[in-house]
Amino acid sequence: MFGLLGPSPYSYVMKGNYRGLKDGPIHRTFFEYDLKYFCRGFKYCYENYGSLEAVFAPAASGGEVGVWDGIALFRDAMARANGGRFSKHIADPGSASACKRLNLSLRWLVRREGPVDLGLWESISPASLCIPLDLHVGRVARSLGLLDPARKANDRKAVVALTEKLRGFCPADPARYDLALFGAGVDGQQ
């Protein structure tokens, strides 16, 4: 993908260079037409909001519910830029989805403390982040009693429940536990 975007992805998007993309594969289920969708959406966000952060920030300042509202605003902005069409690559926070990829992206962009976190965005507090929940994090959380082991779904309800439990340990940054839970899950430790 970076080979297609060149040395300045922002310039690539803003100049509309994505218009020349075809349908070729980029990675597993992500194709050039998916990249074109994202580029159109990013261009729309930059032109109408000034930045991607500005799309999320007004809603995300409202705490955990605000993060879900920010994801919805982003998803809607991306669809507006693409003729009202939604992408399978942007989860719907109005459904039961855990929105794992978007919560993970927010974690990387907002947090400053972790070894993989970029901390580029300043208008959203780490306190408002939700835990990025996947199979590994869910399994470890259940084994530690952080989630009800009888409830198997890794959905929005589980994200909210786990985030609230983690917020009890660190109200200022409940997502700080993501890497530890994920790493333990991948390693098979419980």
Type of residue at 157: K
Q: Where are the domains of the chain?
A: 2-80, 100-186
User: Which pLDDT score is estimated for 188?
Assistant: 62
Q: What is the pLDDT along the chain (190 residues), one digit of tens a residue?
A: 989 999 999 999 999 999 999 999 999 999 999 999 999 999 999 999 999 999 998 766 665 568 899 999 999 999 999 999 999 999 999 999 999 999 999 999 999 988 889 999 998 999 999 999 999 999 999 999 999 999 999 999 999 999 999 999 999 999 999 988 987 766 665 5
User: Which pLDDT score is estimated for 184?
Assistant: 76
Whole-angstrom Cα Rg for the chain:
17
Q: What is the dihedral of CA 82, 32, 46, 80, to 10 degrees?
A: 10
Report the SS3 class of residue 98.
coil
Type of residue at 124: I
Q: Are the C-beta atoms of residues 111 and 129 closer than 8 Å to each other?
A: yes
101 token code pair: 């990829």
Other beta carbons less than 10 A from residue 77's beta carbon: 19
Q: What are phi and psi of 74, to 5 degrees?
A: -60, -50
Q: Give, to the nearest 10 degrees, the angle between helix 135-143 and helix 156-169.
A: 50
User: Which pLDDT score is estimated for 64?
Assistant: 58
Going by their DSSP bridges, the two strands 25-27 and 30-31 should be labelled as antiparallel
Considering the chain, what percentage of its residues have pLDDT values greater than 70? 93
Other beta carbons less than 10 A from residue 10's beta carbon: 11
User: Which pLDDT score is estimated for 45?
Assistant: 97
Handedness of CA 85, 91, 93, 94 (dihedral sign): positive
Please count the residues of the chain.
190
Q: Are the C-beta atoms of residues 67 and 103 closer than 8 Å to each other?
A: yes
